[in-house]
């Protein structure tokens, strides 16, 4: 049994990034567990529900919201580490108090350097996160031994399970946002999605500002504001 951790929603212009950590015996996982992108949405939801209801599996989830993503004093590499660390701490906190360390942690590397990502993740987990308002209570956690690898969500079943949980939570967050903006089609939230770009243009045109769900520091969002400002100048 060991811990795998991954995130979903790192690149979209809308909504949160979600990190998830799963502690499980890989032999007990479904045979078709894999990188979430390779699993059909319905099967992902079934798998995530089964993982979260299994008493022998510990799951931790953390959301990084757009307002934190837009902070000028951070970057996506740091936010990915921070999000994964929060999820790891929550999963570790769900383990029995008598759990002996070190707990093996395998992460999907969100940095060009796997070694640097692993080191930073270990440091963030061990130091805690005083900016995490929804985090653990600061109680003692077992020691950890962290490795990180590119493509771990494809190669490691426990990391794959974490990617499934993260993706399902991210998809649910986007469904909630769809419901919060009933007059618009948000699309997938990704900058390359024409529906997402049309949503941003329409919302800015109607309200003169970006929606709260937008990552204002993303180029796609900045472009929507610039286009609206230019259109207003042309009309003037």
Give residue limits of the domains in the chain: 2-175, 182-235
**Domain 182-235 CATH class label:** mainly alpha
Least confident span in 51-65, 138-152, 191-205, 209-223: 138-152
Q: What is the DSSP string of 161-193?
A: HHHHHHHHHHHHHHHHHHHH-TTS--TTS-TT-
d(CA 16, CA 65): 4
d(CA 70, CA 76): 10
Quote the pTM value: 0.93
Confidence of residue 45 (pLDDT cuts 50, 70, 90): very high
pLDDT, tens only, 61-108: 999 999 999 999 999 999 999 999 999 999 999 999 888 889 999 999
Q: Give the containing element (helix H, strand E) for 123.
A: helix 114-127
Q: Across residues 218-224, what is the average pLDDT?
A: 95
Eight-state DSSP code of residue 135: S
Q: Is the pLDDT of residue 137 over 90?
A: no
Confidence of residue 5 (pLDDT cuts 50, 70, 90): very high
**Could you give the C-alpha distances from 22 to 13, 45, 102, 111, 218, in angstroms and in order?**
26, 15, 16, 21, 30
Q: Is the pLDDT of residue 234 over 60?
A: no
d(CA 80, CA 77): 5
Q: Across residues 101-120, what is the average pLDDT?
A: 96
CATH of domain 2-175: 3.30.420.10
Does this chain's domain 2-175 share its CATH topology with 182-235? no
* Mean pLDDT score of the chain: 93
Q: Locate 35 and state its tokens.
A: 């990188």
Q: Is the pLDDT of residue 9 over 70?
A: yes
Please give the backbone phi and psi of residue 104, each rounded to the nearest 5 degrees, phi first: -70, 130
């Amino acid at each position: 049994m060991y811990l795998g951790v991954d995130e979903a929603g790192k690149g979209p212009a809308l909504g949160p990034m979600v990190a998830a950590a799963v502690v499980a015996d890989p032999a007990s996982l479904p045979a078709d567990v894999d990188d979430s992108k390779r699993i059909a949405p319905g099967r992902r939801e079934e798998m995530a529900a089964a993982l979260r209801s299994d008493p022998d599996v510990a799951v931790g989830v953390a959301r990084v919201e757009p307002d934190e993503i837009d902070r000028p004093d951070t970057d996506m590499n740091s936010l990915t580490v921070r999000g994964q660390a929060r999820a790891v701490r929550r999963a570790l906190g769900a383990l029995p108090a008598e759990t002996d360390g070190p707990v093996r942690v395998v992460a999907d590397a969100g940095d060009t350097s796997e070694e640097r990502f692993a080191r930073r993740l270990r440091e963030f987990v061990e130091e805690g996160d005083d900016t995490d308002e929804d985090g653990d209570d600061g109680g003692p956690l077992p020691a950890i031994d962290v490795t990180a690898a590119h493509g771990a969500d494809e190669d490691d079943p426990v990391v794959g399970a974490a990617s499934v949980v993260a993706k399902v939570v991210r998809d649910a967050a986007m469904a909630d946002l769809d419901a919060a903006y009933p007059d618009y089609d948000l699309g997938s939230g990704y900058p390359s999605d024409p529906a997402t770009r049309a949503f941003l243009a329409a919302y800015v045109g109607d309200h003169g500002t970006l929606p709260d769900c937008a990552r204002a520091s993303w180029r796609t969002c900045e472009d929507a504001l610039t286009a609206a400002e230019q259109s207003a100048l042309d009309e003037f």
